[in-house]
Structure 1
Amino acid sequence: MSHSVMASNRRLLKNSAAVTLSVAIGGILVFLAMIILARYLGVEDFGIFSTLLAIVSLIQLFADGGMVNITIRDVARDNQSLNRYIGSTSIGLIMVSALLLLITGGVVYVADIPSKVGVSLLLMLLAQLCALQGLIFGAAIRAMEDMEITAFIGVVHKLMLVAAMWGTLELGGDLTAVCAANLIVNLIQTLWLQWVVHRKYGALVYRFDRTLWKTVFKDSLPLGISMVLRKLTVHLDILLLSVLATVFAVGLYSSAYRVLQLIETASIAFSGVMLPVLSQLAVQDKTRYAGMLNNVLTFMLAAAIPLAAWLWVASDNLVLALYGEDYKSAGQVLQVLGIGLIALIPASLLHPAFAAINEQKILMKLAIASLALNSVLGVILIWYFSYLGAAIGTAVTECVVFFTGLVILGKLGYGFRNLSKVLTILLSVCLTMLVYQLLPQQAGLLPELLRLSACIPVYLMCLFTLRVYSIRDIQLMLKKPNGNEQPVVNS
C-alpha cells in the first residue's frame, strides 16, 4: 500500500474516531442538559419546552433547506471553491433567517401568545438560527476532512450548554432565561467556527452570488424538503400530543424520546462522516460505493439491534434512575421507541447514500410518505393510547421508511446483500442477552451501565467468532476512495 493511501486511511480513521468520541461525549452532555431541565422545570413545563423546541427545530431546518449537506458535498469535490461558496451561502442564510424571524414574530404578535411563551419561542428560534450559521462554517471544516476541529468545538459547546442550563435554573431562572442562555452559548460557538475557517482556509468572500445561490438552492431544495418533512415526522408526535392529549403526556413522551435521541444523534454524526467518502466513491467507483454502503449498513445494524434489545429489558430502571418517580410511566414508551431504533439508526445513512448519487428527490418522496404514515398512525393511536400510541406510531413509521429506502436502493443497483450477516447479528444478540439476564440486577443508573458494559465484550466476541465482521471488513470500511481494492459484498 502506498504512502498516500496509508495517509488517507489514517485520516478517515482519525475523522471517524474524532466524530464518534465527540458525538458520544456531546450526546451525553445534551442528554444531561435535558435531564436538568426535566427535573427543574417539572413534567408540564418540560412539555412546553419540548413543544417549543419542536417548532423551532422545524423552522431552522426550513432555513437550512439542505444547504449544509449540499455544501459539504460540493466543497469536498472542489476545495478551491470553499471561500466563495461558504461566504455566499452564509450571506444567503442570514437573509432567509431574518425573514423567518420576522414572520415568526408577527405570528406571535397576531396570535396573542402569552408573553412568556412568545419571548421564549423567539429567543429559542434566534439561538437555533445562530447555530445554523455555525453549521455552515462547520461544513467547510468537515468538507476539508478536518473533523477533529468541529468535534472538539462541539464538545466544548455542549459543556458550556450544560453549565449555562444548570447555572440559570439554579439561580432561579425560568424558561425564558434558559432560552436566553442557549442563545449566548450558540453565538460563542458560531463565532469560534467562523474564526477557525478564516484562519485555516483564508478569508471568506462575503458576497451574495446569485448564480451560485441559484445552483445551491436547486440542488438542496429536494434534500431540504425531505429534511423538513423528516424532522416534522420526528416532532409530529410531540405536536399531536400537545393538541390531542395533555402537556403532561408531552412531558412523559419527551423524556423517553430524549434517550432515543441521544443514540440517534450518534448515528446521524457517523453518517455525516460517510457523506464525503460516499460522494467521491459514487463518482469514481460505483462498485466500491455499493460495497461500502452494504458494509456500513451492516455495521449500523450491528449497533442498533443490541441497543433495542437492551432498552426493552432495562427501560423502567433507566427512566426511574434518570428522571425520578414522576416520569415512571415513560418506561413503556422507551420500550416501544427502542424497537424503532432497529430501523432508525441505519436509516440515517439513507440521506448521504441518496445525496451522493444525486437522488435527493427520492429522499423527499420518502419524507412525504413518512410524514403521511406517521400522521395517520399518530392521530388514531394517540386518540386511544395517548403517549404510548405516539411511540407505536413512530416505531412503525421508522421501520416502513427504512425498508422502503432499501428497496429503492436495490432498484437503483445498490441492493443490500448482507442478510445472512444480519441473521448472525440476531443470534449474537440473543446469546449476549442470555449473559445479561444472568448478571445480578440492581436499581440505579451506574449498576445498569456496568451490567451493560460487562456484556459488550461478549457481544463483540460473538460478532467476530461468528464471522459477522473480520479485520479485513473493517479495513475496507476505513479505506479512502483513492484506494484500489474493492470491498467484497457477501451474498
Structure 2
Amino acid sequence: MKKEIRLNTIVELFTKAVNFLMTVIISRIFGPEALGIISTSQAITGYITLVGDFGTNNEAIRRISKSERDVSEVFSIIFYWRLILASFLIIGIVYYYVIFGSLDKILLFYILISLIGFFIPSYIFIGLTKYKYNAIINFLITIISLSLFLLLLSFKHSIIFYPVSLMTSTFIGMIISLVFYFKIARMQFVSRSKLFNFIKKSFYLGLTIIFARIYYDFDIILLGFLTSKIQLGLYSSAFKLIQMLWFIPTLYTTYALPYTTRMIQSNINNIPNYIIKVINNISLFILPICTLGYFYSGDILSMFFGNEFDKGGPILTILIFSFYLMFCKTVFGNLLIALRKEKFLFKVSIVGSFINICLNLLLIPVIGILGSALTTLITEVILFIIEYITIKRSFKVRIISLNITKIFIGITLMFLFLLFIKVGVFLGIILGCTFYLVILLILKEDCIKQYKDKIYTGVK
C-alpha cells in the first residue's frame, strides 16, 4: 500500500503543478481579466460538485473502510443519487436557456465538467485503499487536458479551449474509472429506503461541506459582482497559488480518514499523540512558507503570472497564513468526521459562512480585494479556535508542546534573519530555509531528528 500512496502522492503533485502551469499560461496570454472569468466559473460550478457529493464521498469511504463487502451497494446508491441530480441540473440548464436565450459558454463547459465528474468513483478506490487507480485516472486526465489545450492554442488563442480541454479529459477519465470499478465490483439494484438512509447519514456532512465551501471561495463570486474583473484576476492569482498548496491537506484527507476511523475503533488512546505529531509536521513545513510569503509574495506572483500581478502580493501573504489554519482545521475536521460529529461541524460551517459573507459585504466595498483576504483570515482564526476546543475536550490533547515551541522559535529567528539581510527572492528562499533548518537542528527539534534518522537509514 505504501507504494500506491507514494505513486498517488506524486501524481497529485504533478496534477497540481500542471493545473498551475495552465493558469500561468492563461494569465500571461489573456491577462488578469480572463483569469477572473475562469475563476468565477470554477467557483460557481464548485458548488454543483459539492451538491453532487453532499457528503456521500466521506460516508462511502467510512462505510467501505468498515466493510469491503458493501462496495457494490455503496457505488450503486451514489450512482443513482448523482444520476438523479444530473438529470435535474440538465433540465434546469435547458429551462434557463429557453427563458433567457443565452448562457455563458465558459460557465456551461464547467457545469458539464462537474456533471461528468459526478460519476468518477474515486471514493471506492480510496475506501479500498487502491490508490493506484486514482493515480492513473488523475494522471491521464491531466496529460490529456494539457496536451489538448496546448494543441488548440497552437491554432487559435481562445480562452474557451481551456474548459473544452478539461471537459474532454474528464470524460475520458470517467470512462476509464468505470472500467476499473467493474473489475472490482458490480452494479446492483438498491431500494429507495437504502438510498434515503444513506443520504440521511451524509446529510449533515453534505451541508457542512457546502457551507465550508462558502467561506472558502464564495468571496470570489462576491468579488465578481463587487469589483472589476481585473481586481478579481489579481485576487485569483494569489488564490491559485494557495490552491497549489492545497493538494497537501487534500492528500492528508484522502489517506487519513480510513486510518483515523480504524484508530478510533481499535485504539483511541493513540489519538492525542497522533494529533500532536501531525500538527508539528504541518507547522514545520507550512510556517516557513508563510514567512517567505511575507517577504516575497509580490515577487512570486510577478515571477509566475507577470509584472501586472505584483499588486496581489499583500493578498497572497494573508492567504498563506490563512492556509496554515485551514490545514490544522483539516486535521481536526477529519477526526470529528471519524467520531461522527457531523452535526457539530455543520453548526461550525454555518458560523463560518455567516461571518465570511457579512465581513466580505462589509469590507470589500471599502478596501476591495484586501478586505476579502482579511475576511478569510479572521474566519479561519475563529473556526480554528472553535474546533480546537472541541478536539481538546474529545481527546484531552494540548497541541502546544515543547516541540512546537522550538518550531516557533525557528520561525521567529528566520523572520528576523530575512528582515536583516534584505536580499532577492531566490537567494532569500535559499538562505532563509537553510538558516531555519540549522536552527531546528541546533534545537534538536523532534520532527527534523526523525527525518534525519530516516535519511541515514535509507542511505545505509
TM-score normalised by L of structure 2:
0.90
Shift of 1:175: 3.7
Equivalent-residue separation in structure 1 for 2:386 and 2:93 (angstroms): 35
Q: Aligned-pair distance for 1:472?
A: 9.3
Aligned-pair CA distance for 1:41: 2.6
Q: In structure 2, how many angstroms separate the alpha carbons of the residues matched to 1:472 and 1:194?
A: 44
Preserved CA contact (<8 Å) 2:73 2:190: no
Distance 1:435 1:149, change over 3 A: farther
Structure 1 residues 459 and 211, CA gap change in structure 2 (3 angstroms): farther
Q: Distance in 1 between matches of 2:160 and 2:288?
A: 39
1:350-379 C-alpha deviation (Å, 9 max, x unpaired): 332111011111111111111111111111
1:224-280: per-residue Cα shift (whole Å, max 9, x none)?
111111112222211111111111111111111100111122222222211100011
Q: Match for residue 107 of structure 2? A: 121
For the Cα contact (< 8 Å) 1:64–1:224, is it kept in 2? yes
Long gaps (5+) in structure 2: 453-460
| Change in CA separation of 1:196 and 1:424 when aligned onto 2, cut-off 3 Å | same
- Residue pair 2:62, 2:127 contacting (<8 A) in 1 also: yes
Q: 1:279 aligns with which of 261, 271, 274?
A: 261
Q: In the alignment, which residue of structure 1 is the partner of 2:60?
A: 71
Are 1:132 and 2:118 matched, yes or no? Answer: yes
What is the distance in 2 between the residues matched to 1:416 and 1:397?
Answer: 22
State the partner residue of 1:486.
none
Describe the superposition over 1:398-449 as per-residue Cα deviations: whole angstroms up to 9, x where unpaired: 2221221111222223533344333221112234455666889446xxxx3x
- Normalising by the residue count of structure 1, what TM-score does the alignment of the two structures yield? 0.85
Amino acid at match of 1:225: L
Counterparts in 2 of 1:463 and 1:358: CA distance versus 1, 3 Å: farther
| Matched residue, 2:47 | 58
Alpha-carbon displacement from aligned partner over 1:88-126 (angstroms, at most 9, x marks no partner): 32222122122123224433543455x4x1x32222111
What CA distance in whole angstroms lies between the structure 1 residues aligned with 2:396 and 2:145? 41
| Structure 1 residues 167 and 348: alpha-carbon distance in aligned structure 2, compared to 1, 3 A threshold | farther
Distance 1:472 1:440 in 2: 30
The code of the aligned residue for 2:195 comes to W
User: Partners of 1:31 and 1:260 in 2: how far apart?
Assistant: 10
The Cα shift of 1:465 comes to 4.6
> Which runs of structure 2 are paired with 1:277-426 in the superposition (5 Å)?
277-426=259-408
Give the equivalent residue in structure 1 for 2:147. 163
CA deviation after TM superposition for structure 1 residue 330, in Å: 1.1
Single out whichever of 425-434 and 334-343 deviates more from structure 2.
Answer: 425-434
Q: Distance in 2 between matches of 1:104 and 1:232?
A: 22
Q: 1:79 to 1:461 in 2, by over 3 A?
A: farther
**Which amino acid counterpart does residue 21 of structure 1 have in structure 2?**
I
Which residue identity does 1:469 align to in structure 2? D
Deviation, structure 1 residue 474: 7.8
The residue number in structure 2 matching 1:27 is 16
Which of 22, 33, 40 is 1:44 aligned to?
A: 33
**Rounded Cα–Cα distance in structure 2 between residues aligned with 1:421 and 1:250:** 40
Matched-pair contact (CA < 8 Å) for 1:302–1:425: yes
Q: Are residues 365 and 152 of structure 1, via their aligned partners in 2, closer, same or farther at CA, if it must alter by over 3 Å?
A: same
CA contact (8 A) 1:337 1:395 kept: yes
2:221 maps to which of 239, 247, 252: 239
Distance 1:351 1:417, change over 3 A: closer
Q: Give a deviation string over 1:378-406, Cα, whole Å, max 9, x none.
A: 11111111111111111111222122111
* Residue 75 (structure 2) pairs with residue 86 (structure 1): yes
Q: 1:112 to 1:66 in 2, by over 3 A?
A: same
1:147-186 deviation line (CA, Å, top 9, x unaligned):
2331243233223222233333332253433322211110
Q: Are residue 469 (structure 1) and residue 446 (structure 2) matched?
A: yes
Give the AA of the match of 1:168. L
Residue identity opposite 2:107 in structure 1: L
SS at match of 2:368: helix
- Sequence identity of aligned pairs in percent? 18
Give the residue type in structure 1 aligned to 2:196.
Answer: K
Worse overlay, 460-469 or 229-238:
460-469
* Aligned mates of 2:112, 2:249 — CA distance in 1: 27
Where in structure 1 do 4 or more consecutive aligned residues deviate above 6 Å?
437-440, 471-475
User: Which of 275-284 and 457-466 deviates more?
Assistant: 457-466
CA gap of 1:280–1:24, structure 2 versus 1, over 3 A, is same
Residue 92 of structure 2 is aligned to residue 103 of structure 1:
yes
* Partner amino acid, structure 1, of 2:116: C
What secondary structure sits across from 1:417 in the alignment?
A: coil
Q: Is the 8 A contact 1:304 1:346 kept in 2?
A: no
- TM-aligned CA deviation for residue 457 of structure 1: 5.6
Q: Distance in 2 between matches of 1:326 and 1:205?
A: 52
1:471/1:321 CA distance change after superposition, 3 Å: closer
Secondary structure of residue in 1 paired with 2:150: helix
* Residue of structure 1 aligned with 2:125, choices 126, 129, 141: 141
How far is 1:451 from its partner? 5.4
Letter in 1 for 2:112: L
Structure 1 residue identity aligned to 2:86: S
* C-alpha distance in structure 1 between counterparts of 2:116 and 2:440, whole Å: 43
1:315–1:334 Cα contact (<8 Å) kept: yes
**Which of 218, 224, 230 is the aligned partner of 2:200?**
218
Report the Cα offset of residue 298 of structure 1. 2.5
Kept in 2, the 8 Å contact 1:264–1:344? The answer is: no
C-alpha RMSD of the superposition = 2.5
Is 1:189 the counterpart of 2:202 in the alignment? no
Distance 2:157 2:189 in 1: 40
